[in-house]
């Protein structure tokens, strides 16, 4: 009983890190919690007498649990695919949708795109990338978990890294283009350049209940004059503040270089939870 109490206390000390590992591996807080619980079940039944590095041992068990869950998930996906086209081969999968945690990760800048990219990786690629690039686990240890050589583990992580970085580059390019469009919209609003506003709006653009490009341009010509360019949860948009308090957030949907939808959110509770970084020509200012 004394040994079990000791083990329970040590496990509790490492639980946050194990949950972070599982969350990065699985992309779901609920599944991460399930993985940590399964890890404890395995740990509580194991002989710890020969364990020299408890933290590494716990990480290894958590990683193996996550690997099993990823393989089961992939198997279910393949079984339910039916007549759907097969997944693209590993080196040609498109970039897509993250994660929302604060741990340091190379691909945090991808935001939503990260999780879609990770979902296109094989379980072994995903494990190798996450454990090495995020949690600094050696390729030797990773190789033991996936039953591969350290060199093979390195290759898996490298291949995953290239695809994640490709998604980051594509996401950054898209954000840059959208930022330019939103900035041009705000500039045209401030100067009252009605023609420029119309040129930026899709003919079927919608803002709140006001429909049509001309109506949208008129609606925003005054209200956007005081708005400032900002990143809103990492996405270019605009923010109107009064006496230092955010009063309205403008979010834009852009397609083929035109603004197709503009939404204004004035709900104080939602605005309070947003991460807003005001953008200037030469620096950023976080709210």
Q: pLDDT of the chain along its 287 residues, tens only?
A: 556 778 888 899 999 999 989 988 888 888 999 999 999 999 988 887 778 888 889 999 999 999 999 999 888 765 554 443 333 333 333 333 233 333 333 333 334 456 667 777 889 999 998 898 888 899 999 999 999 999 999 999 998 888 877 766 665 665 678 888 888 888 888 887 888 888 888 877 655 444 345 544 545 544 556 788 888 877 888 888 888 888 888 888 888 888 888 888 888 888 887 878 887 644 455 55
- Tokens 């308090």 correspond to 245
CATH, domain range 192-286:
3.10.450
State the pLDDT at residue 108: 36
**CB neighbour list of residue 51: distance below 8 Å, 6 or more residues apart:** 57
pTM of the model: 0.48
- Domain positions in the chain are 2-173, 192-286
∠ CA(188), CA(190), CA(191), 5° rounding?
65
For residue 242, list its beta bridge partners. Answer: 245
Other beta carbons less than 10 A from residue 50's beta carbon: 7
State the pLDDT at residue 124: 92
State the pLDDT at residue 257: 83
State the pLDDT at residue 33: 93
Q: Which CATH architecture has domain 2-173?
A: Up-down Bundle (1.20)
- Tokens 């049509």 correspond to 212
State the pLDDT at residue 259: 87
Nearest to 213 by CA among 199, 224, 192: 199
């Amino acid at each position: 009983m004394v040994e079990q109490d000791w083990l329970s206390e040590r496990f509790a000390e490492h639980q946050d890190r194990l949950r972070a590992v599982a969350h990065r591996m699985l992309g779901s807080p609920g599944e991460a919690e399930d993985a940590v619980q399964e890890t404890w079940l395995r740990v509580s039944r194991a002989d710890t007498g020969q364990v020299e590095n408890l933290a590494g041992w716990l990480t290894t068990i958590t990683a193996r649990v996550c690997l099993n869950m990823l393989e089961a998930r992939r198997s279910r996906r393949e079984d339910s695919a039916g007549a759907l086209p097969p997944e693209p081969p590993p080196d040609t999968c498109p970039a897509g949708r993250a994660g929302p945690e604060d741990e340091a990760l190379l691909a945090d800048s991808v935001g939503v795109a990260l999780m879609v990219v990770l979902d296109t990786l094989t379980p072994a690629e995903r494990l190798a990338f996450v454990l090495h690039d995020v949690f600094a686990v050696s390729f030797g240890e990773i190789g033991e978990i996936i039953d591969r050589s350290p060199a093979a583990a390195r290759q898996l992580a490298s291949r995953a890294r290239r695809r994640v970085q490709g998604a980051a580059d594509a996401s950054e390019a898209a954000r840059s283009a959208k930022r330019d469009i939103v900035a041009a919209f705000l500039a045209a609003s401030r100067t009252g350049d009605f023609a420029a506003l119309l040129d930026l709006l899709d003919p079927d653009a919608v803002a709140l209940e006001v429909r049509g490009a001309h109506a949208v341009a008129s609606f925003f010509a005054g209200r956007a004059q005081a708005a400032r360019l900002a990143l809103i949860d990492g996405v270019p948009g605009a923010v109107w503040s009064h006496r230092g308090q955010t009063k309205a957030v403008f979010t834009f949907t852009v397609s083929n270089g035109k603004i197709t939808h503009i939404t204004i959110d004035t709900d104080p509770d939602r605005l309070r939870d947003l991460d807003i970084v005001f953008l200037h020509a030469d620096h950023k200012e976080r709210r």
